[in-house]
Every structure is written in C-alpha cells, then in structure tokens.
Amino acid sequence: MSVPFLLVKFSQERAALLLINYLNSKGISAQYSLQHDGHEHGVELLNEADKDQASVIAGEFIQAPKDIKYQQAAWDSGQTVSLRQGQSGISLTGIWQQLRDTPVTTSVLLVCLGIYLFAMVGVIWPYEVLVIQPIDDLLNNHQWWRLIGPALIHFSMLHIVFNLLWWWTLGGQIERRLGKTTLTVLFLVSALLSNIGQLLISGPNFGGLSGVVYALVGCVWWLGWLRPAWGLMIPKPMVGFLLVWLVIGYADILWVSMANTAHTVGLFTGCAFAFVLSRLSVKKSRA
C-alpha cells in the first residue's frame, strides 16, 4: 500500500475539498488531511505517480479558485462545496490567528510599528541606533547590526503602511507554508544585501522595509511558478504593478526619493532565494 503524498496545503478547508473533488473528477485519487494541529488543510495524493499532473492542476486552482469548473466538479460528485465571498475578509479572529501562527511576521511588524510610533512622540533613539553608517565607520565601531537596521525604520505614514501591508500578506504566506526559519533567513539576507547595495550606490540616508518586501514578492512570484504545489501565490497584476513602480522610481518623477537600488537588489535576492529553495527540495526528494 502506497503512502499518501502531500500535494498542497490551504488555510481554508473548503479550498482543499474543492480541489480534491476536481482532482477526483480527473481520475486522480486524492484525499483530505489535517495539517499542523488542525490549522491547515492538506490535499494528499494516493498515487505519487500522479504528482506532475496534479501539481499543474493545483497551480491552476491557486490562480483562479473560483473558476466555475471546480464548483461543477463538486456538483457532479454530489458535494456542495464553495468558497464564500466573505471568507477572505478581515476579522478580529482571523487577525489574532495570524498573529499567533506567524510569530516572525508579527514580530517584525510590531518592531517597525513601535519604532515609528515612538518617533511620532519624540523618542528617536531607535532611529539613532539602527540607522546605517558608511562602511569605514562600521569597520571602526563594529556596529554591524546597522546593516540590517534600515529595514526597521520608516519616515512617513504612507511609507510604513505600504510596506507593512505587503509584509503582513506575503511574509505570512511564506511563514505558514515554509516555516519561520525560512522567513527569518529571507528577511536577514534580503535586508543585508539590499541595504548594502543602497549604501554603496546612494549613501546612508535611507530606510524602510521595501527591499525586503521586493524580496518577498520575488520569492513568492517565482515559487508560484517553480513549485505551485507549495500553495504560494501573488496575483500577476500585483507583480506587474510593483515592477512598474520600480521603473517609475528609477525615472525619478515622484515627489519622494525612493531606494531604487534596495528595491532591485531585494527583488533579485527573492528570486534567487526561491530558486535555491526549489533546488534544495529536489535534492531532498531524491535523497
């Protein structure tokens, strides 16, 4: 008897059941399973030989879960499974659940928000401790944490809201699917590389989580393509918007100065990180 193979996990039970019905309608044997103490809902294959075909179907489902063909498969099988319109809305229960289940995402969000709120009431010592300095100064004082520091400081309400919304959404996805260690490593590596790049090109007067945000975008974007079964996704129009925003930054037509180098380095770091994760998963499956 073959061991069930986990194809993909969802935060909603209905999504898992809808995909299972569709897979079964295509002759691919799949079953439901609870994951991570009941917080996630898995789709398991009973025959690993179906993995490639099922992965393609899962990727298509993630891109358009409300396509009528999935509901049609549920109707044909006698099930009444659907994705409710309001299920993705924001609720206090949902927010508390994410705060509890994604400690890294939550911690970075609270640190950034706390530093910004302190500055609003005149407490600026966190900025003074975290602001980056020229490489020569760091070689003398050895305050290497300043290479990460700019990712945690922001200079306007629009700046911090934009960054934290993306961090909350994409960071939460990565932490739930791939774990807190993966998100922590991606945060540290992307913050370090994007900050160093910005420092070397434009000097030390910058701050913000944007370099890390672009790394999250690149990572989720590429993993959605390389490993659709992992359940990570970002809508293509949003990728397009952020890429256009990147180009606009270089055009220097905005009323604010943008950390263009940090954005670019972050994006490439995230894409490279996704590629490495994908290759490591292949090696593990062959071991």
Provide the residue-wise pLDDT of the chain in tens; the chain has 287 residues: 466 778 888 877 778 888 888 888 888 888 888 766 556 788 888 887 888 888 888 888 887 777 777 766 666 655 545 444 444 344 445 556 666 778 999 999 999 999 999 999 999 999 999 999 999 999 999 999 999 999 999 988 988 999 999 999 899 889 988 899 999 999 999 999 999 999 999 899 899 999 999 999 999 999 988 887 787 888 888 888 888 878 877 776 665 667 789 999 999 999 999 999 998 877 665 55
Domain limit, last residue, from 32, 59, 88: 88
Give the model's pLDDT for residue 130: 96
Let me know whether 71 and 45 are in one domain.
Answer: yes
Let me know whether 45 and 67 are in one domain.
Answer: yes
Let me know whether 22 and 66 are in one domain.
Answer: yes
Q: How many domains does the chain have?
A: 2
Let me know whether 156 and 116 are in one domain.
Answer: yes
Domain limit, last residue, from 88, 118, 136: 88
Catalytically active residues, by annotation: 210, 263
- Looking at residue 83, which CATH number applies to its domain? 3.30.70.2350
Let me know whether 72 and 98 are in one domain.
Answer: no
Give the model's pLDDT for residue 249: 73
Let me know whether 196 and 265 are in one domain.
Answer: yes
- Looking at residue 244, which CATH number applies to its domain? 1.20.1540.10
Per cent of the chain over pLDDT 90 is 43
Instruction: State the residue range of the domain holding 193.
Output: 92-286
pTM: 0.69
Let me know whether 205 and 80 are in one domain.
Answer: no
Give the model's pLDDT for residue 24: 83
HEC profile of the chain: CCCCEEEEEECCHHHHHHHHHHHHHCCCCEEEEEECCCCEEEEEECCHHHHHHHHHHHHHHHHCCCCHHHHHHHHHCCCCCCCCHHHHCCCHHHHHHHHHHCHHHHHHHHHHHHHHHHHHCCCCHHHHHHCCCCHHHHHHHCCHHHHCHHHHCCCCHHHHHHHHHHHHHHHHHHHHHHCHHHHHHHHHHHHHHHHHHHHHHHCCCCCCCHHHHHHHHHHHHHHHHHCHHHCCCCCHHHHHHHHHHHHHHHHCCCCCCCCHHHHHHHHHHHHHHHHHHHHHHHHHHHC
Let me know whether 139 and 201 are in one domain.
Answer: yes
Give the model's pLDDT for residue 286: 58
pLDDT digits (tens, 9 = 90+) for 200-232: 998 998 999 999 999 999 999 999 888 877 878
Give the model's pLDDT for residue 54: 85
